[in-house]
Structure 1
Amino acid sequence: MVVAGEWGARHSYSGHIASLLADHDSQSMRLGYIITDPAVRGQGRGRALVEAAVARGFEKTDFPLITLGVYAHNHRALGLYESLEFKPTGASIEGPSQMSMGRCLSPRPVSAGGEQGA
């Protein structure tokens, strides 16, 4: 089971947590502190956590962008984020070993009545 809130998501599995912050000035969200228990890595739980946080963020805001920071040497995390459509932004963040990645919101489907779906 995945529990997601406006400011974050927490997987019901022990040791999985992420924060999701909304920045009204930049009209974007920032996904951070993605932590998984090393004993259960490779089982899809981190993917479920990130997917839940991203879905919840785009559901709760009209912001078109979600970003995150990742250590450049963390190839497993980089692969996960790339598979979830995050792309390097080129933005500088703390330290040369970190990189910023972002994902834009896909347009929401338009219902038969012409309104955007949630």
Structure 2
Amino acid sequence: MKSYKDLDVYNLGLELFYLSHACTLKLPKYEMYELGSQLRRSADSVTTNIVEGYGRKRYKADFIKFLTYSWASCLESVFHIEKIAQLYPEVIEDPNVLISRYNELSAKIFNFIKYVEENWKT
């Protein structure tokens, strides 16, 4: 692994960020800066924390801490998507697909955290 860009969790997280971001731009203007902003920030935080944690990979505890933040942001993103789907069903074509993909990412991040805890050499 030469870069964080080689990580599946990074690549899937970035793809989902772009999908989530596009959905938020369809919200009514007053929600774009409220609920939309929350989803954009949490979705961005998933990959941002992976990148920052990777930058600290020499320190195993720091790497795990930032991966945990990433995992939590992934869960937060699902929560925001569920709210948008309930309040504005026309905004996300099939929210269950997006939620399912975030749940897949969440599981991958969780498994990566376990891998780092058990196998990471500093």
TM over 0.5: no
For CA contacts below 8 A with separation 6 or more, give which structure has more relative contact order: 2
More helix by share: 2
More strand by share: 1
Structure 1-normalised TM-score?
0.31
